Amino acid sequence: MTDRIALSGLRARGRHGVYDFERERGQDFVVDAVLEVDLAPAARSDDVADTVHYGELAERLVGVVGGEPVNLIETLAERLVEVCLADERVRAATVTVHKPQAPIPHEFADVAVTITRRRS
């Protein structure tokens, strides 16, 4: 499968983290999602119903980021990839969760976790 839909740089506020202050104040998270899906039906029909609607996907992902807090961005990434795979047409999904405001006492550009899951 070489067809993909990519949603990059989706920013949402969440209260995830190990520390109490992360849960209290919250912080921004950035999500990238790449879905492997057969785009031929949508290309033929030119109908959004024949593909994964990336606007609706974005809403569901933002809902997870803004929802129930978790300690680890690994857990958050797993929940997000499950959202991506909820659409039966998605054969595989890769999700990266960036935590640009991670509580690290040194200058850094980014902290991110990437997971890939495939439909059985």
Just list the catalytic residues: 99
Structure tokens at 28: 């921004």
* Residue 79 CB neighbours (<10 A): 16
Q: Amino acid letter at 46?
A: D
Closest CA to 101 of 13, 7, 10, 20: 13
Angle at CA 39, nearest 5°, toward 33 and 44? 150
Structure tokens at 111: 């902290």
Contacts of 115 (CB under 8 A, 6+ apart): 74, 77, 78, 81, 94, 95
